[in-house]
Amino acid sequence: MRAKAKLYPKEAARLLREKPGVREAVTGATLHFERNRLKAYAEVPIEEWRERAKAVKDHVLTHLDHYLELAERRLRENGVQVHWAETPEDAHRVLREVVHRRGVKRAVKAKSMLTEELGVNPLLESLGVEVYETDLGEYLIQLLGEPPSHIVGPAIHLSLGEIQKLFHARFGTPLDASPEALAQVARRVLREAFLSAELGLSGANFLVAETGTLALMENEGNIRLSTSLPKVHVAFVGIEKLLPRFADLALFLPLTARAATGQRLATFVSLIQGPAREGEEGPEEVHVVLVDHGRTALLHDLEAWETLRCLRCGACLNACPVYRQTGGHPYGYVYSGPIGAVLDPGLLGLEEAYPLPYASTLCGACYEACPVKIPIPRLLLTWRHRAAEEGLTPSWEHGAMRAFRKVMESPALYRLFSKGLRGLPLPQDLLPLLRAWTEGRGPLRPSPKPFHELWKEVADGR
Amino acid sequence: MDARTRILARVQRALRGRPKALLPEHPHTPLAEDPVDLLLRRLRENGAEAQRLPREEAKAFAQRLAEGLPGAAFGKTLPQDLRPPLPELPPEEAPLGVSWALFAVAETGSVALSSEDGRKAQLLPPTHLVLVEAKRVYGTLLEALQDLNELPAALGLHSGPSKSADIGQVMVKGVHGPGRLVVVVLE
């Protein structure tokens, strides 16, 4: 996917102006996820779980070469064909070969953020393959031609009304059709696709090195179907997705489910070793594509490598007061919200993702939610610091910060300015900063009295 | 040099001289209550129907569930005597799938289904009946995973009916997989 992260603040402001319904839908959905997460965390010794999960991931990342080679060996022993992809082009080559060799005309696909990174759908379409997203939310946005706006709930920015309109135009369902009726239509279309597709595509939540097991989590059953019915299954796995031991799944599956949706476990978990065995139903071929695409560079980054612990649960998105205003689209890349703000610069380079580290209030809610304790607030500051060092921040900002410092260091100057600014009519339309603020919000109104006067009154009255 | 060599070389370069993190042990946290009781409770909380029955009653239960149906799809490892007396239909057409679970996990409310039993019967029919022996019910997921010596080609953990809230945040059942999950624990 081409990154449009540079447009972040403009796109966010435009969305707030032009599509106020998105804020309502996203806030509703994220608060719902967030409440469920809090309840699910409270049920278990969550601090102990988070510490242990962090330790396991740090172990695997600091021994990554060993575990990658072990996973490759186990996968091959299980009859899986293993491929390595440094770039999207490498991944495309694997797919192109499968499509030509097996005469693939139709593919069913499980939701996967990595395949968004790799641009799998456009590639398949260019090869004449019909691709069906089979996660219901992902199917909705595929019909609309939009990218996902949330890591686990790709269509949370859509209201029921919008989906009713979409299905009316596409399938002729009534404009007031119930969610059940709409889901039944999608079920019918996708069932036909499952039964006729020659190729099933997926990502992976985890790859266990010890046993070569692919672990996939979902609630609908579409992943189980996509990896069971077509004769070929291709899974794209980021190299950071490894777990050392099979029994580590006992921690990571429930922890991810609790963080993502507040469930004790996802409704369906697929633990896949390889192709179907003698006399069994299932795929004849299973391929695993181990993908780098910027991950080794991030591992090399001593200040930011911990980002690679990410489980893609979306908990930080739900907890984030900034993400809740707009959903994921304005972030302009696959990963949005707080994790996107620190992962995208790591994967794309800071220049491509420049404004994203500023898309946060630094309130720390993302860190509290993170199941593997990624220090997102600290990483945001790291990327901001680098942006300043690399001269990516605008030049007026340096001057403004110097002036601000002068004023804040001198009580006399501070009083003078706070009084002076209060007396003036605010030139709302003149200063670019104020204009950016008021475009999406009400006008700035200073309090009638400055804080130090109010404080004095309180102190004197006591 | 191929992609594999380059990726592994870059990983090694990145890790050179870095402190190595230790791998923690798995904790031992045994369950305080009867695993079957907890399994039934958790399955119901997950939206499934669940009961514990002696083998003879389980047979009668499966027959009642199958009453009036034109046929069903059966798991390959399901014991013959537990099959409801129905004609066998392909899973694509069957209104009912009956599976034999490898094991169950109480704390998460899950039944584990092996690809050896056949996957279509577990996924395609709208109603899914799963039978599991009480002695195969584990308290925790960790116990179950540590006890597995041989892994099938694919193992599916099912913890309730298929569901989605992707349409306007309204929970809908039976999206792609079975909308009804019925579990019977055999005593």
User: If we measure between CA atoms, which residue out of B101, B105, B185, B104 comes closest to residue B140?
Assistant: B105
Average pLDDT rounded to a whole number, residues B143-172:
96
Cα–Cα distance measured from residue A433 to residue A424, given in angstroms and rounded to the nearest whole number: 17
What separation in angstroms does the CA of A75 have from each of A81, A88, A228, A391? 7, 22, 18, 46
- What element of type H or E holds A454? helix A451-461
| Token pair listed for A320 | 């984030």
Average pLDDT, chain B: 96
- Residue A112 has a pLDDT of 97
pLDDT tens digits for A404-437?
999 999 989 988 887 777 776 666 556 666 676 6
Separation in Å, CA of A134 to nearest CA in chain B:
9
- Residue A461 has a pLDDT of 80
Whether A183 and chain B come into contact, CB under 8 Å, resolves to yes
Separation in Å, CA of B140 to nearest CA in chain A:
8
What separation in angstroms does the CA of B92 have from each of A137, B88, B89, B120? 24, 12, 8, 8
The span from the first CA to the last CA of chain B, in angstroms, equals 60
Separation in Å, CA of B57 to nearest CA in chain A:
28
- Residue A89 has a pLDDT of 97
Using a CB-CB distance cutoff of 8 angstroms, which residues of chain A are in contact with residue B42? 264
Which of the four pLDDT bands, split at 50, 70 and 90, describes residue A130? very high
- Residue A431 has a pLDDT of 65
- Residue B176 has a pLDDT of 96
Q: Is the predicted pLDDT of residue A447 greater than 90, yes or no? A: no
Which of the four pLDDT bands, split at 50, 70 and 90, describes residue B29? confident
Tell me which of B160 and A2 has the higher pLDDT: B160
- Residue B20 has a pLDDT of 97
Using a CB-CB distance cutoff of 8 angstroms, which residues of chain A are in contact with residue B176? 134, 187, 190-191, 194, 220-222, 225
Which of the four pLDDT bands, split at 50, 70 and 90, describes residue A309? very high
Average pLDDT, chain A: 94
Partner-chain contact A55 B166, CB within 8 Å: no
Whether A276 and chain B come into contact, CB under 8 Å, resolves to yes
Q: Is the predicted pLDDT of residue A440 greater than 70, yes or no? A: no
Using a CB-CB distance cutoff of 8 angstroms, which residues of chain A are in contact with residue B74? none
Partner-chain contact A254 B157, CB within 8 Å: no
Which of the four pLDDT bands, split at 50, 70 and 90, describes residue A270? very high
Using a CB-CB distance cutoff of 8 angstroms, which residues of chain B are in contact with residue A228? 115, 119-120, 123, 154
Q: Is the predicted pLDDT of residue A449 greater than 90, yes or no? A: no
Beta-carbon contacts of residue B181 (< 8 Å; ≥ 6 apart):
B43, B47, B48, B49, B128, B130, B158, B160, B161
- Residue A273 has a pLDDT of 98
Q: Locate the chain B residue with the closest alpha carbon to A262.
A: B46
Which of the four pLDDT bands, split at 50, 70 and 90, describes residue A76? very high
Whether A228 and chain B come into contact, CB under 8 Å, resolves to yes
Separation in Å, CA of A22 to nearest CA in chain B:
12
Partner-chain contact B123 A228, CB within 8 Å: yes
Coil, strand or helix at B128: strand
Average pLDDT rounded to a whole number, residues B9-31:
95
Using a CB-CB distance cutoff of 8 angstroms, which residues of chain B are in contact with residue A85? 3
Could you say which of A163, A194, A300 has the minimum Cβ distance to residue B167? A163
Could you say which of A68, A268, A277 has the minimum Cβ distance to residue B156? A268
Lowest mean pLDDT among A99-103, A414-418, B35-39, B157-161: A414-418
- Residue A191 has a pLDDT of 97
Cα–Cα distance measured from residue A133 to residue A135, given in angstroms and rounded to the nearest whole number: 6
What is the pTM (predicted TM-score) of this model?
A: 0.94
User: If we measure between CA atoms, which residue out of A108, A145, A122, A74 comes closest to residue A222?
Assistant: A108
Which of the four pLDDT bands, split at 50, 70 and 90, describes residue A332? very high
User: If we measure between CA atoms, which residue out of A239, A302, A213 comes closest to residue A86?
Assistant: A239
Separation in Å, CA of B6 to nearest CA in chain A:
8
- What element of type H or E holds B113? strand B110-114
Q: Is the predicted pLDDT of residue A269 greater than 70, yes or no? A: yes
Q: What value does the CA radius of gyration of chain B take, rounded to a whole number of Å?
A: 21
Q: Is the predicted pLDDT of residue A459 greater than 60, yes or no? A: yes
Q: Is the predicted pLDDT of residue B153 greater than 60, yes or no? A: yes
Separation in Å, CA of B132 to nearest CA in chain A:
17
Contact A130, A107 (CB under 8 A): yes
Partner-chain contact A277 B153, CB within 8 Å: yes
Contact B159, A267 (CB under 8 A): yes
**DSSP-assigned letters across all residues of B39-98:** HHHHHHHTT-EEEEE-HHHHHHHHHHHHTT-S-BEE-TTS-GGGS-S--B--TTT-SEEE
Q: What is the dihedral of CA A343, A348, A351, A354, to 10 degrees?
A: -30
Interface test with A, best of B1, B2, B7 (most A CBs within 10 A): B7
Q: Is the predicted pLDDT of residue B134 greater than 90, yes or no? A: yes
Average pLDDT rounded to a whole number, residues A74-94:
98
Could you say which of B4, B108, B164 has the minimum Cβ distance to residue A254? B108
Residue type, B160: G
Q: Residue window 106-125, chain A: list those with CB within 8 Å of chain B.
A: none
Which of the four pLDDT bands, split at 50, 70 and 90, describes residue B61? very high
pLDDT tens digits for A183-241?
999 999 999 999 999 999 999 999 999 999 999 999 999 999 999 999 999 999 999 99
- Residue A454 has a pLDDT of 87
**DSSP-assigned letters across all residues of A83-131:** EEESSHHHHHHHHHHHHHHHT--EEEE---HHHHHHTHHHHHHHTT-EE
Which of the four pLDDT bands, split at 50, 70 and 90, describes residue B123? very high
Q: Locate the chain B residue with the closest alpha carbon to A270.
A: B156
Cα–Cα distance measured from residue A57 to residue B115, given in angstroms and rounded to the nearest whole number: 29
Is the ipTM value over 0.90, yes or no?
Answer: yes
Strands A213-218 and A268-272, bridge-based pairing: antiparallel
Residue A215, phi then psi, degrees to nearest 5: -115, 130
Cα–Cα distance measured from residue A337 to residue B22, given in angstroms and rounded to the nearest whole number: 30
Interface test with A, best of B167, B169, B170 (most A CBs within 10 A): B167
Partner-chain contact A280 B145, CB within 8 Å: no
Partner-chain contact B120 A229, CB within 8 Å: yes
- Residue A446 has a pLDDT of 74
Average pLDDT rounded to a whole number, residues A171-187:
97
